[in-house]
Amino acid sequence: MEEETVSGIILTVMVLVLAGAFACARIREHEGIGNAPKGPLRAPHGRLVAVRAVQGAVAFRRLPLFARCLAVSYAVAAALLALDASFSSTLPTFGVVTGLGVWCSIVAAAVGARTVGMRQALLYGFAGYVLLGVLLMLPVAMVEFAVGIKGYVLYLLMNGAAIAGTCLGIAWAPQRVRFERTFEDGTVDTLWVSARAGAFSRLSELAAA
């Protein structure tokens, strides 16, 4: 199986896993809101009877966050490339460089998680990774065809842009508020909710009531 095919399969699996996590998070945020009957999906503990904001949104500066994620992930990428060069007499293949890009994007998410939360860092970071990486594929491939850029340089450019896209996505992540929820059956839990989430305004209204 070609390395490009393997990378495509890995990327597809990551998309499906993150999409599933995103859907589950959104379902959980809407639990007990509205007049949905008690059930395993919309209201497993019955309706919400009380909501309290236990930790307000923490303001953060987006540019320093982007710069911090980018600096750490690029430093790790450079170290891994140097390590590979010391053990191999040939240039890294497409699969190696792409795998390095994925791991360094995860490093960027870990750096950003302290500010925006791991879930948001992974979701927004991955969106930036795919968006910038895919958007650059066509023009860079056209330049390679017209100018004759070597494959190794092309791989570095594409994955470097994808890592930068991850950092941009993390820096664009919204602020969060932590809510404590009390349900009909007495269950109490807490969860972080993004300011861009559909349930945020309703939970904020219930907390202010």
What are the average pLDDT values for consecutive 10-residue runs of the chain, which has 209 residues? 60 76 82 73 80 77 94 94 81 77 91 89 89 71 63 78 92 88 88 84 84
Report the half-sphere exposure of 66 (CA within 13 A, side-chain side): 13
| Nearest residue to 165 (alpha-carbon basis) of 194, 120, 144, 134 | 134
26: CB partners within 8 A, 6+ apart? 197, 198, 199
Predicted local confidence at residue 143, as pLDDT: 66
H or E element that contains 194: strand 188-194
Q: Please report the pLDDT score of residue 69 as a whole number.
A: 96
Residue 131 Cα distances to 29, 64, 127, 166, 169, angstroms: 26, 22, 6, 9, 9
Cα atoms in the Cβ-side hemisphere of radius 13 Å centred on 124: 23
Tokens linked to 16: 């499906």
pLDDT at position 167, please? 95
| Residue 183: CB atoms within 10 Å | 19
- Tell me what pLDDT residue 108 has: 95
pLDDT for res 71: 96
Spatial separation of the C-alpha atoms in residues 174 and 134, rounded to whole Å? 23
Helix, strand, coil shares of the chain, percent, nearest 5, are: 65, 10, 25
On whether the CB atoms of residues 29 and 197 are closer than 8 A, the answer is yes
**pLDDT at residue 169, rounded to an integer:** 94
Q: Which of 96, 85, 77, 64 is nearest to 163 (CA)?
A: 77
Indicate the burial class of 31 (C-beta count within 10 angstroms; 0-12, 13-18, 19 or more).
buried
Q: Write down the pLDDT at residue 36.
A: 64
Give the per-residue pLDDT at 8. 65
pTM of this structure: 0.75
Question: Which distant-in-sequence residues (6+ apart) come within 8 Å of 177 by Cβ?
Answer: 53, 55, 56, 57, 192, 193, 195, 200, 204
